[in-house]
Structure formats: C-alpha cells, structure tokens
A and B are shown apart, each in its own frame.
Chain A
Amino acid sequence: MSSPLTYSNNELLAILRDTRTIAMVGASPKWNRPSYFAMKYLQEKGYRVIPVNPGHAGKEILGETVYASLAEIPGKFEMVDIFRNSEAAGPVTDEAIAVAKDKGIKVVWMQLGVINEAAAEKARAAGLTVVMDRCPKIEFGRLNAELSWGGFNSRIITSKRRRVRLS
C-alpha cells in the first residue's frame, strides 16, 4: 500500500485478460517460496507459466520444463514476470527487450518490492507495458474479489454483478 506507483484497475485487468502465457524468471522449485505460490495460483487460473531459472534448467516445476533464459523458451509468451531483486531486473528486462519481437512479449512485470526505473524506461521505449512492485497473483485475486475472501481491502466498490464461470 505504501508504493508510490499506481496502476488503474482497468489497466491491470486488460493486462491479465490479454495474457495467456507467462515466463516467470526466478521461479523456484521449493514449494514454500513465494514464486512457487504465484506460479501455482496462476496455473489454476488458466495461465501457462514457464519457469526460467538457470540453476534448475532442464528440470520441471509444477509440470513445466525450466529454461535457462528467455531466448531458450520455445514458442511465444506475452508476459515476463520477474521474481528477482531490483538490480537483477535490469539485465532480465534487457533480455526481454532483445527477444520481444521474436517471442511476442507485450508486458514486463516486476514483482512486489522490485522496482527498476531505468529498466522500465527502456522497456517502455521499446513499446512494452511495464508494471513494477506488484504481484500478478495478488492483483488477479484483488480484481476478481478473491483477495477479499481473506479480509483484504481490495479498494473496489461496485454494484455490478460479477460474471461467474459455471461448468
């Protein structure tokens, strides 16, 4: 709540709606790490999440093969979710920019606590959308009223009836 960065609900909703595949840089194979939580949740919500972590390349996390770099991922992905510290987010963003056209990358998303203004500037100049200091899991939950289930302040006020997917 203390972050000076603000993103409109509509902007975040559009990103989460238009994204299907996410490359998660810094994904951990340990079940109790934050990245593992986020990956599992996003998978449950229908996203394909491809883990990127050179230390675990070739292994699997949550049924997905781990790649050493963005360039090595076969196929396209719209979002790069950076689970690294703010400094490391710089080179990761550079790599995302370099392969953006080839891979269809539209969004560079830096996790909660990760802020790198210089990297964000470069990414925006390259035509990418940038989100910093947010977690896509938390934002997905907030915008779909799931965060409210835990007693959190979603700051969403609406009298519109949400559509629920019935199977």
Chain B
Amino acid sequence: MSDKKSMGKSREYGFETRMIHAGTQPEPVTGARQTPIFQNTSYVFHDADHAASLFNLQTFGFIYSRLTNPTVAALEERLANLEGGRGGTCCASGHASQILAFFALMEPGDHFIASTRLYGGSITQFGKTFKKFDWQVDFVDVDDPEAVRRALTPKTKAIFVESLANPGGVVSDLEALAAIAREAEIPLIVDNTMATPYLCQPFDWGADLIVHSTTKFLSGNGTSVGGAVIDSGNFDWTASGKFPGLAAPEPAYHGLNFHETFGDMAFTMQAHAVGLRDLGATMAPMHAFQTLLGTETLSLRMERHCANAKQVAEFLEGHPAVAWVSCAALASSPYRALAEKYLPRGAGSVFTLGLKGGYEAGVKMVEGCELFSHLANIGDVRSLILHPASTTHRQLSEEQQAAAGAGPEVVRLSIGLETVEDIIADLELALAATA
C-alpha cells in the first residue's frame, strides 16, 4: 500500500503543479487540453432509468447547470484540491457562498458567532439580511478566545472568521478558534479570500469549512464575480444531532440522510443537491473558466502581491501624513507572530492605513491617485484604493466601523502587480494632496 499515489506516481504533487492540473484532466471525448467552457444548461439522459438514478443522486452525472456543470465542477475540484478538502461548491458570488454554507447548517432560530473584523458586506449580510431567515449572529472580538466561549449558546451552529481579515492587517488565531469549535461540536468556517490557499491552509489548523470570494485573488484580474464553499470532509455531522440539514432524513429527497449515505461527501452533495438547487445562486461556466485561468498563476501573483505590498507598507509607515499602517507584513504589527504562523509565505496585499488628516484626508487621497483605481474590490493585478467609511462600510454604525478597522481616517489599499516604484510614486503624490 503506497501512500497518496496518483495514477503512476509515488508522492504528493506540489501546490504549483496542482494549481495548474487539479480538476482538469484532458477532456476525454475531444482531447481538448484547456478546459472547455460548457456553455450549456442541460444534459441528455440515456433513458428513463438513467434519469431516475440521477434525480435520486444514485449515480454521478449532470442534469441541469443550476446544480452542476462540467466547467464549474473543474473549478470546484481545483479549489477543493488546493485547500486540501474533500469537495467544493461554487456559487454566483462570495456572498452566495456564505448563504450556502450557513443554509446547510442553520435552522430558523439558530445562532452563530462571527468575528467583528470582517469584510463590511459580510457584517451587513449576517447582521441584517440573515435576520430575515431568523438566523442570529453575535459579533465577537475573536482575539479574545474567552469572549468567543462566552458567546456560545446551545443554538450556536458555527464560528465564522476571516483568516486574514478585510480591510486589513488582522490575522485570526485559527488553531485556538478551531479548538473552541471542536469543544462545542460545531464547525469553524474560515473565509480564506484575502489569503488564498497559497498563503494560508485553514484545514491544517482545524477549520471545517472554507468560503471564498473567487472574485478576488483567485480569478485575479477583476473579471468575474464568484464564490466557493470547500468542505474538509472531517466534520461529523451526525454526532451532536445539531445538523438536521445534513444528518436527518431530507424531505426534499424522500427521506435520504446525506451524512449516512455520502459519508465525508455529505456537505458537498447537500450544497449542490439542496443548496444550489433551491437557492439557485449558481456560478456561470464562463466565470468558472476565467477563475480557472486565474488559479493557474496564483502562486506567482501572490508572491509578487505580497512583496510589493510589504515594500509599500514600509514606505507608508515612514510617511509624515500617515498616522499608522495596519499590515501584518510589518515588523510593527501586533499580528506579526500570528502571520508568521498562519501566513508563512506572506501576509497578503490588502491593508489599511490611518491618515492624520481624518475623513477629509481620506477622500482627498483616493481622489489624488492617478495609477490606483478608486473602486470597491480587492485582489486585482491593478492597484486599488478605497475609503471604507464613505463606501463599503458606510452602512455600519461608527462603532461597528471602528471595530471593523474601518474608521473615518482609514484608507484601504490592495496592492497590485505594477512596478513597485510606480505604485509608491503614485501614493506619494496622493498623500501630498492631503496636506
């Protein structure tokens, strides 16, 4: 019995090999080497019995692209492979992937714990829109494990954090949080968008589910909105009796129990067969294709993103108009030790700075840039700039803004792959305009 063998091979392939090959064998009918875009809604059944087997989930295959599509499946497998998980489910956006993840876990009246340091849109989704499903959330400072423990209730079904938190500089202590989740018999969900699987491997630290906005670094060029949920396959959905959506007879499938029937494939089966089927937030095949192209260069881009970002952060830290820089790549960061542990290859390229001139200076800075694009995205080859208080985080209260690291004086940067001297020169110019 040789370990982890691929077809003719005796050791595990490296990350770079897998980011190019995982999930994308040559298309067998034509031999096409690059993954075809199956721009197609539905798939012909061999006969009535084959159709029945497919609808009953008794065989593998395609029915209708709201559930599964070959191009989307290729991306799902690639992301699952890169994260070291059992399976993946792609979605129309990062936000859709968050709904899909919680939809499998939560019943009306259930509760989860989320970090106070999240992408502002996630705070709004969890705190406001999720309430309409009667899903309750408590936002907790996850730097304080005792506070997380105190927030647990018998109805708590998950802990949700970002590995590297948007808008910047904060690293979650995944191992400590996973231990708390394990004690409570609930999954730890990690949004790994800002780090990508190249920089951080949350399953290695005990996370159970990973969500992504593939819109960012994974697609990489700012072309395609998308998301994914990856399941580690390690969580026991049956043991605690807390997860009827995964481990009780499913009325929508004539009483099928997903965990009993599909074992460690239960979550991913449920996410397609119930989640995507009924929520309908499916990724388009074209978006899957563009995201597959992005992942083929992920390691190279992330290395350069990180190197550029570190240099820019160091420049900003020494600039007289800048009050502080929150970037886990900096020696001064309180999260430096956590970054070394969880992000050994680099601390990402999205971070924040505080301007001495406050809200006014923030507005002037974003308007003073020539090269940086003023827009609400991150993780593009282009350098991006944003003033969260006047944009992404404006729906939040001032207290929530401050807790999320997005107060009035804060500017967020997503450092791209341009010549680093040009990036720095552009910021120098913009900072001069704030004076």
Contacts and interface: CB of A to CB of B under 8 A. Distances in A.
B254 A112 contact: no
B26 A159 contact: yes
Contacts of A152: 76-77, 80, 86-87, 265, 268
Interface centre among B8, B17, B60 (most CB of A within 10 A): B60
B374 to A, nearest CB: 36
B29 interface: yes
B254 A158 contact: no
Contact of A150 (B4, B22, B272): B272
Interface in B55-107: 56-62, 68, 70, 72-74, 76-77, 80-81, 85-90
Interface stretch (A8-16, A49-57, A70-78, A94-102): A8-16
A164 B27 CA distance: 10
B133 to A, nearest CB: 24
Interface in B332-347: none
Interface residues of A, number: 43
Contacts of B255: 32
Interface residues of B, number: 60
Interface string B1-21: 111111111000100011001
Nearest to B4: A6
A146 B1 CA distance: 24
Contacts of A17: none
Interface string A24-55: 00000001111011001100100000000000
Q: Binding site of A, secondary structure by majority: helix, strand, loop or mixed? A: loop
Interface centre among A147, A157, A160, A162 (most CB of B within 10 A): A157
B379 interface: no
B21 to A, nearest CB: 5
B154 interface: no
Nearest to A33: B261
Contacts of A112: 263
Interface in A120-167: 135, 138, 141, 145-164
A148 B79 CA distance: 12
Contacts of B397: none
Contacts of B28: 145, 161-164
Contacts of A148: 23, 25, 73-74, 77
B234 interface: yes
B285 interface: no
Interface string B188-219: 00000000000000000000000000000000
A158 B61 contact: no
Interface of B: 1-9, 13, 17-18, 21-23, 25-26, 28-29, 31, 33, 50, 53, 56-62, 68, 70, 72-74, 76-77, 80-81, 85-90, 232-234, 253-256, 260-261, 263-265, 268-269, 272
Given A41-B59, A153-B87, 17 more contacts: A1-B234, A6-B4, A31-B254, A33-B261, A40-B58, A44-B59, A145-B28, A148-B25, A151-B77, A151-B80, A151-B90, A152-B77, A152-B268, A153-B80, A158-B7, A158-B21, A159-B21
Q: When A and B form their complex, which 10 residue pairs have the shortest distance between CB atoms, in order from nearest?
A: A151-B76, A8-B5, A146-B60, A153-B80, A152-B87, A162-B28, A1-B233, A161-B26, A37-B58, A157-B21
18 contacts: A1-B86, A1-B233, A2-B233, A6-B3, A11-B1, A113-B263, A145-B28, A148-B74, A148-B77, A151-B72, A151-B88, A152-B86, A153-B22, A158-B7, A158-B21, A162-B26, A162-B28, A164-B28
